Amino acid sequence: MAVVLRSNSDLVYLPDHGFVGDEGALRILIHITRQVNRLDISHNLLGNEGIKTLFAGLTTLRARYSVPTGGLVPPTPREEMWGLRDVNLAFNGIGDQALDVVLGYAKKDGAMRSIWVGGNDIQLNDHLDSIVNSINASHIESFSIVNTRSLVPSSVCAFFSLLDAPRLRQLHLSTCDLPETVAGAISSFLRSSRSRYLERLELNGNCLGAVGVAQIIDAIEESHFGLRQLGVFANDTRRAVDEDEVSPMPLPAEIRHAEERALGEQLGRLPILLERNRLYTRRIRRAAQRAIAPARIILNARSLTADETAQRVLSSVGSTSSSSSSYTSPDPTFPLLDLPLEVVHHVVRHTSGDAVAFSEAQFARLRAEAVDRESMKRTRRVLEERFRGQDKEGRLRLENEIREAWLRRGGWDKWESGSPRRGSKSTGVDGE
């Protein structure tokens, strides 16, 4: 089937086109041009071999398109390094081997942000270490493996025990028939620092049961303050099947109704917890942005020397004598820098307007950032270079990008578990 793309399109959209194996992969590759960075080839039949051919070709194209086109005009960052941003490979008959190939490519393509591989024959039995290592080392922000009922529960547990992806923001595992036995691994992951950057976790339509859902929500309540969205709807155990079981036994009606009530109770806890996380996140982000400028002024200031102090007093006395016979003290000042260092740090912390929003580690990083003169110089150079030639809208966009990068780099984009969980007048957040 012929596909016509507009010359300004960055999307190759080829779902359900009958592409099969190696030949199908080669037919897809002819549509990949330098301007393309989104690829949707879901609902085809590429299989493992087709995926290997496709991503070998994409590796070649990436090397070719990443070479500047030539000319006297310096290349833009996009011309310097080409890559795919979003790839949809759902329902292509691929397994663990192909997934390993896809993620191996993603690890090297710094532009890659989203991958969809749902509805395939993935088990996570083979190449698991390589698969998770590639996710951990990549720039992937969203990974979706929904509608994958072939996943092996024990391998899913191992997946969560190995997952440590600082750039991963969204993980989608809905309708995968995950049983209650994986809830412990998921909750352990959520309690660990490895999940700190995760903002969305979708587990709808599985078989976690009320007990499994409670474990996961407990972990969020006690340890995870950055998650903004959690999907755990339709998680009764009616369809639960053990790995060695051929078909499930239906639960008695009274047990099913009791479980539905228990699930409803657990789901009722979620809105409050997610709203808490949203407010906590807003508090730490705002506190860091408010405190950094005063911190730089105070922590980089120096006390007057004895000679400077004497000169100041004499100047004040002289000016007073010429205008009045009575002596008045010098201009009133507060000797902030003469205070003990821990008190100075306490003052800096309160310039944020929300001193308890910082964990000790976050505030230590803020102090280090404030006194890092090289960092300030680098930031100034980046601003000057990137703002050059930008209109007002472009400047606002760049300011937001730079602000987000700064917050993430310093770890002030998320509430940390070490922060005191007390309310503040500015947010109205109540304590635990």
Residue 64 CB contacts under 8 Å (≥ 6 apart), including other chains: none
pLDDT score recorded for residue 213: 96
Quick one: 262 and 366 in the same domain? no
Residue 1 lies in a domain: no
What residue numbers bound the domain in which 362 lies? 283-301+335-432
User: Cα separation of 413 and 418, whole Å?
Assistant: 14
Using CA atoms, how far apart are residues 173 and 165, in angstroms rounded to an integer? Answer: 16
CATH code assigned at 144: 3.80.10.10
Q: Are residues 270 and 377 in the same domain?
A: no
Q: Say whether both 219 and 350 belong to one domain.
A: no
State whether residue 318 is helix, strand or coil.
helix
Residue 243 has pLDDT above 60, yes or no: no
Q: For position 307, what pLDDT does the model report?
A: 74
Would residue 309 count as lying in a domain?
Answer: no
Based on the fold, state whether residues 244 and 296 are members of the same structural domain: no
Same domain, yes or no: 185 and 287? no
Q: Is residue 199 part of a domain?
A: yes
Q: For residues 51 and 40, give the distance between their C-alpha atoms in angstroms, rounded to a whole number.
A: 13
Instruction: For 388-415, write each residue's pLDDT tens digit.
Output: 888 888 888 888 988 998 999 999 999 9
**Across-strand partners of 114?**
86, 142
* φ, ψ for residue 20, nearest 5 deg: -130, 130
Residue bearing tokens 């087709």: 50
Residues 386 and 250 in one domain: no
Question: In terms of domains, do 343 and 363 share one?
Answer: yes
Is residue 247 located within the same domain as residue 289?
no
Q: Encode pLDDT of 166-209 as tens digits.
A: 999 999 999 999 999 999 999 999 999 999 999 999 999 999 99
Q: Are residues 166 and 296 in the same domain?
A: no
- On whether residue 306 sits in a domain, the answer given is no
372 Cα distance to chain centroid: 25
Query: Angle at Cα 373 formed by Cα 403 and Cα 368, nearest 5°?
Result: 70
Shortest CA distance to 91 belongs to which of 33, 140, 149, 137? 149
pTM of this structure: 0.82
Please check whether residues 256 and 223 belong to one and the same domain: yes
Q: Is residue 112 part of a domain?
A: yes
Same domain, 231 and 373: no
Question: Is position 124 within any domain?
Answer: yes
Structural domain tally of the chain? 2
Do the strands 142-144 and 170-172 form a parallel or antiparallel pair, or are they unpaired? parallel
